[in-house]
Amino acid sequence: MNKYQAGMQGQQMAEVFLQHKGYRILAKNYRIKSGEIDLVAQHDNYIIFIEVKYRRGLTYGRPSEAVTSTKQQRIIKTALHYIATRESTEQNYRFDVIEILSQGAETEINHIENAFDV
């Protein structure tokens, strides 16, 4: 499995995980020139912009550690574009990270709500 396939597998796992928690997926891989958001979801009067990070092992640290401040700024810029191009009655937004760590036969999913602010 290459890096792209692993990322897509991780994103699918995150999507199923969120749906089981009652989230409604609004968009997948929302892209503009300056960035991408893996998942956009709605839950409890919030529009949530979700970055999914998947790793097979801890060689390079926890998956969430890859969401650097530079990456956060790109996600925020992309989210602002998403908000500006949608008519929405929702006034609450947040940024979550879902980290998925596979080590052998074990897979851990950690949902970090409000992972960072605008």
Residue-wise DSSP of 19-44: HHTT-EEEEEEEEETTEEEEEEEEET
Domain count, the chain: 1
Query: pLDDT tens digits, residue range 48-107?
Result: 999 999 988 888 889 999 999 999 999 999 999 999 988 766 679 999 999 999 888 899
Q: Give the residue numbers spanning the domain of 70.
A: 3-116
What predicted TM-score, i.e. pTM, was given to this entire model? 0.92
Kindly report, residue by residue over 3-46, the tens digit of the pLDDT: 777 778 889 999 999 999 999 999 999 999 989 999 999 998 89
Say how many CA atoms lie within 13 Å of 41 toward its Cβ.
25
CATH number for the domain harbouring residue 106: 3.40.1350.10
Q: Which tokens in the block code for residue 7? A: 């990322």
Residues 6+ apart with CB under 8 A from 22: 43
